[in-house]
Structure 1
Amino acid sequence: LFTSMVAAGEKSGHLDAVLNRLADYTEQRQHMRSQIMQALLYPAILTFFAVAVISILLAAVVPQIVGQFEHMGQSLPGSTLFLIAASEFLRSYGLLVVLAIFLAIAGFKRALKKPAFKLKIDTRQLKLGLIGKVSRGLNTARFARTLSILNASAVPLLEAMRISADVLDNSFMRQSIAEATLKVREGSSLKNALEQTKLFPPMMLHMIASGEKSGQLDGMLERAANTQDREFETLVTVSLKVFEPVLVAVMAGIVLFIVMAILQPILALNNLVGG
């Protein structure tokens, strides 16, 4: 991307303007990356502490309390038996489970280096509801912004589409853009070629068509990218606001289950003594 833009700027004699666009582009990508990291930080910390608290309860607290009932030979309810089984499993195999998770993640990352496997994963990713919507939004915005900069820098459209496709994270979308590039080479309009991929939102396609007709394609592409970025920020903000209370509710439910599983045999023993 940078090499093509600098070369185009040197040929057109507008290298200073091209470098300014590159600086804005880099700043925009850094800003978006920073926003994503900040948005995910609190939920990640909350999830970590939730898992840690529940693990400590199951591995350290529960065995000491529930063990007293086993020594008394008292008949235990199903919830308490389940809690004991979960506690014993965590104490016996907890480290193995953690190790298996790390090995699975490492193996998955290694497998992603194989193009065929990555293509399958990326194809399925786009069908995963919210995750697919986020991935599609990020990549279409990145494509539109990159194509806008290249087009404004006098890079030929076909070359600009090829370079813009290379900056996408999703290999299925890269493949689809490559097919759209062939259609443009055969005489199709940019809007029609991208529409056939079924990856771009209608508003972005409308803005691209308007830019092609008015001769202001770079400006409309940039506006389309800005619109996508705003929609992405809204989607992430709303999703995280929903996720946080849901996580707290799930954690509270698990802790409540643990407390009730401990209290049930105590209450049963009190009723037995009282009777």
Structure 2
Amino acid sequence: MPVFEYVAIDSAGKSRKGIIDADSSRTARQKLRADGIYPSHLEETQAGETSDTPSRFQFQFTLQRVRRTELVNTTRQLATLLSAGLPLVSALSGVLEQVRRAPLRRVLSQVRERVKEGMSLAAAFREHPKVFPSVYTAMIHAGETSGTLELVVERLADFGEQQLALQRQVRSSLAYPILMLTVGLGVVVFLLAYVIPKVTQIFVDMKQDLPLPTTVLIGVSELFHKYWPALVLVLIIAFLAGRYYVKTDAGRRRYHRLLLRLPIVGPIVEKVAMARITRTLGTLLNNGVPLLSAMEIVRNLVNNVILRQAIEEARQEISEGASITAPLARGGIFPPVVIQMISVGEQSGNLEGMLFKVADTFDSEVESSVTTLTSLLGPVMILVLAFFVGYVVLAVLLPIFEMSHLVG
């Protein structure tokens, strides 16, 4: 359905602007007049990423994408208004007035119109799968069915804020090592491409036997200086080939399995995935979503195909009457602590609570591991850069010492 942006004057004589969803411009004007709003300008706009049709321009699509932080903030505002006792349509209108970016405003405008027409909030959200993930719509549906929508929206806001907080912690911890790596690579490239060729050319012109470190340095410098376009081309081709291979089924499986088995990165990747799986599953179960439906949603949220396959196999066995613990343990993918906690929760009837405890534990371990790793990366990169600079200095000074010895 088309979306129209309008500039209007309300019954109090105040200027207003916003978005409305209607079949035509005439219908849009009728809807506005029925609400006591008299448009002076009405223009149809593109729905951008709110529809399921692909964007005409990929760059424009990227700019119009609804950000995750916007969705979390909007969820918190909606939870606050619903907790204050506002009707759903009024709460959506209140949230819509606070949104500034056009993509999310268009989506919320369409959602509000659908709710006005009698559609449930979950069904209205499902019309925008690129904005509202399946876990979101499933919890909203469970809240509407059980009559606890305001509580579910509150939990959704908490869940989204916890996920964002973890992401920000990881990104902030990696900022310094990434900066050090960038500076270090820049220094190395500058030395190899500009400084070393000029310095070593003096020794080459003397046509004397040079020490091995100096010879190696001259060879690497000449290779980089003369053939850097070819080296860059090789790197680009290798990157594109690797990216294409990872998109294949076999390549994706090997890449995801490798991620889980890497010595340092693997445990962190596993803990992040386990925290997301257990927290999402616990949140869904805590809000009345059936176990099989919750596991299907969690499976779709997991990016790692190895973990996704393990969840799907466990889901199939559970649908045949098995407990949740045995299939997960049989897959050999989930850590023993997860299996034990789920088993205790299943036996005690507090599965949701145990899943939340597992998620909290892994979140804490991820934060600790990332902090430790980043605290070590900085000094390690400084040592590597110091070693390279020291080698360059040694390779330059050795011929000078030999010449001074001969002169002496």
* TM > 0.5: yes
Distance 2:139 2:200 in 1: 68
CA distance in 1, matches of 2:241, 2:163: 29
Correspondence for 1:16 among 130, 135, 150:
150
Alignment partner of 1:148 out of 282, 288, 295? 282
Counterpart in 2 of 1:191? Answer: 325
Is 1:60 matched up with 2:175? no
Q: Distance in 1 between matches of 2:139 and 2:286?
A: 9
Of the three residues 342, 347, 358, the one matched with 1:208 is 342
- Give the Å deviation of 1:111: 3.8
- Larger mean CA deviation between 88-97 and 243-252 belongs to 88-97
CA distance in 2, matches of 1:27, 1:106: 35
Does the 8 A contact of 1:148 with 1:221 survive in 2? yes
Identity among equivalent pairs (%): 36
Name the structure where strand makes up a greater proportion of residues. 2
Cα deviation for residue 206 of structure 1 reads: 2.0
* Number of residue-to-residue matches in the alignment: 274
Which piece of structure 1 moves more, 221-230 or 99-108? 99-108
Q: More displaced, 237-246 or 185-194?
A: 185-194
Shift of 1:184: 1.6
Residue 223 of structure 1 and its aligned partner are, at CA, apart by 1.0
1:252 is displaced (CA, Å) by: 0.6
Q: CA deviation at 1:216?
A: 1.4
- Structure 1 or 2: more helix by fraction: 1
User: Paired residue for 2:314?
Assistant: 180
| SS of aligned partner of 2:333 | coil
Identify the match of residue 239 of structure 2 among 73, 98, 105: 105
CA deviations over 1:194-225 (Å, ceiling 9, x no partner):
12222222222222112112211111111110
- Structure 2: runs of 5 or more not aligned: 1-134
Counterpart-to-counterpart distance in 2, 1:164 and 1:148: 10
1:115 counterpart residue number:
249
Amino acid of the residue matched to residue 37 of structure 1?
R
Partner of 1:126, secondary structure, is helix
Question: SS state of the match for residue 137, structure 1?
Answer: helix
User: What's the counterpart of residue 361 of structure 2?
Assistant: 227
Please say which of residues 123-132 and 261-270 is displaced more in the overlay. 123-132
| CA apart distance, 1:17 | 1.5
> Letter of the aligned partner of 2:189 in structure 1?
S
Structure 2: distance between partners of 1:190 and 1:267: 73
CA distance in 2, matches of 1:73, 1:130: 48
Structure 1 distance, partners of 2:395, 2:250, is 48
* Uncovered stretches (5+) of structure 1, i.e. residues with no partner: none
**Aligned partner of residue 109 in structure 1, secondary structure:** helix
Q: 1:138 aligns with which of 272, 280, 288?
A: 272
Q: Distance between the aligned counterparts of 1:114 and 1:3, measured in 2?
A: 30
SS in 1 for 2:209: coil
What is aligned with 2:169?
Answer: 35
User: 1:165: how far off?
Assistant: 1.5
The answer for the alignment partner of 1:3 in structure 2 is 137
Deviations 1:223-258 (A, max 9, x none): 110101101111111112222211111111111111
One-letter amino acid of the structure 1 residue matched with residue 258 of structure 2: R
Q: After the TM superposition, which of the residue ranges 152-161 and 202-211 deviates more from structure 2?
A: 202-211
- SS of the equivalent of 1:75 reads coil
Cα RMSD, aligned residues only: 1.5
Equivalent residue, structure 2, for 1:75: 209
**CA 1:38 to 1:96, structure 2 compared with 1: closer, same or farther past 3 Å?**
farther
The structure that has the greater radius of gyration is: 2
Structure 1 residues 36, 99: CA separation in 2 closer, same or farther (over 3 Å shift)?
farther
Q: For residue 227 of structure 1, what is the amino acid of its counterpart?
A: T
Deviation at 1:100, TM superposition (A): 3.1
- Cα distance in 2 for partners of 1:113, 1:66 equals 45
> Under a length normalisation based on structure 2, what TM-score does the superposition of the two structures give?
0.65
Identify the structure with bigger relative contact order (alpha carbons < 8 Å, sequence gap 6+).
1
| Shift in alpha-carbon separation, 1:96–1:28, aligned structure 2, 3 A | farther
- What is the CA distance between 1:98 and its match in structure 2? 2.9
Moved over 6 A (4+): none
Once the 2 structures are TM-superposed, how far is the Cα of residue 178 of structure 1 from its aligned partner?
0.4
1:84 aligns with 2:218: yes
- Once residues 73 and 99 of structure 1 are traced to their aligned partners in structure 2, the CA distance between those partners, rounded to angstroms, is 34
Asked if structure 2 preserves the Cα contact closer than 8 Å seen for 1:136 and 1:199, the reply is no
Equivalent residue number for residue 20 of structure 2: none
Partner of residue 257, structure 1: 391
Aligned AA for 2:164? Q
Which has the higher mean CA deviation after the structures are superposed, 202-211 or 54-63?
Answer: 202-211
Counterparts of 2:205 and 2:400, CA distance in 1: 14
Aligned residue for 1:196, secondary structure, equals helix
1:245 aligns with 2:365: no
2:150 alignment partner AA: D
Q: What secondary structure is seen at the aligned counterpart in 1 of 2:288?
A: coil
